[in-house]
Amino acid sequence: MTHARGTALVLVTLVLLVPASGCLGEDGLQVFPEKKGVPGGLTLACLRDASFTSMVIEIDHAPGYRPYTSSTDLLVERLEQVCEKPGGIRIQYNEVAFGEQASWSAQDVRDEGWENKDASPMDGNTLQWQILFPEGTYEDESVLGVAVDASTMALFSDAIEEADGLFGRPSVEDVENSVIVHEAGHLLGLVNLVYTSPVNHEDPDHPGHSSNDDSVMYWAIESTGLVNFITGDLPTAFDDDDLADLAGLASGDIPVRDQLWP
């Protein structure tokens, strides 16, 4: 990444409470009249290959805010693990001048996302997701990433850089790796956003998030509001319960709601 990076420590024993609305957007669970859908609204379009045989992840980044290659490589790896896309999953980069904006709301992300999308999320046989990497921070500066509709999410690199740790482990690159997979998990519908899991693994205090700190869907992953770190690597993978949910959704064993497709 071309802009300066700090270091970060984000796993914790004591954590300042951050509302689940943060990484889902303050209105992220509403069905929008624009038919842009909710996070998880294209879950089946990703998990199944009946109509969408390939997938593009559009990265729209401000100048100097291109994500680490390790983050995008990891994202493709995680999606290939669960999404049936025989035509492949690829990353497409666009440098975008979003304009000077210090603070972003969920609606700001949604508006800029749809203004800059290269193609419809359901474009022929290709499913298209979009990730914004803008300058500035979310309106709640503790939030590192946010999913705002069925195909759009944002990561706030300036906030990630401020998640400085005392010992440089995990690094900011490690944090970005985790956050990008975490927000993609929300676009896949995790946890319980568009379904109800047969297994109780949702954190009751942070809806839409896992209670397991070994899951990338653990609720604290998107937050910089942290105190009292613990050592160890940040999770970057879906845990067994996450994967079982996704498999059940793909097979039809778990009912799903609020889908834009089929």
Residue 172: which domain range? 12-248
Q: Is residue 1 part of a domain?
A: no
Residue 28 has pLDDT above 80, yes or no: no
Domain total in the chain? 1
- Among 122, 171, 139, 151, residue whose Cα is nearest residue 1: 171
Tell me whether residue 133 is in a domain: yes
- Specify the pLDDT at position 36: 93
Distances (CA, A) of 28 to 105, 132, 138, 180, 223: 11, 16, 14, 17, 17
pLDDT of residue 13: 23
The most confident of the ranges 33-37, 231-235, 251-255 is 251-255
Residue 94 lies in a domain: yes
CATH of the domain at 220: 3.40.390.10
**Separation CA 158–CA 245 (nearest Å):** 33
257 inside domain: no
Q: 12 forms bridges with which residues in the sheet?
A: 229
Residue 7 in domain = no
Tell me whether residue 255 is in a domain. no
Query: 5 in a domain, yes or no?
Result: no
The model's pTM is 0.88
**Best CA proximity match to 156, nearest among 86, 223, 244:** 223
pLDDT at 20 (0 to 100): 40
Tell me, yes or no, whether 3 lies in a domain: no
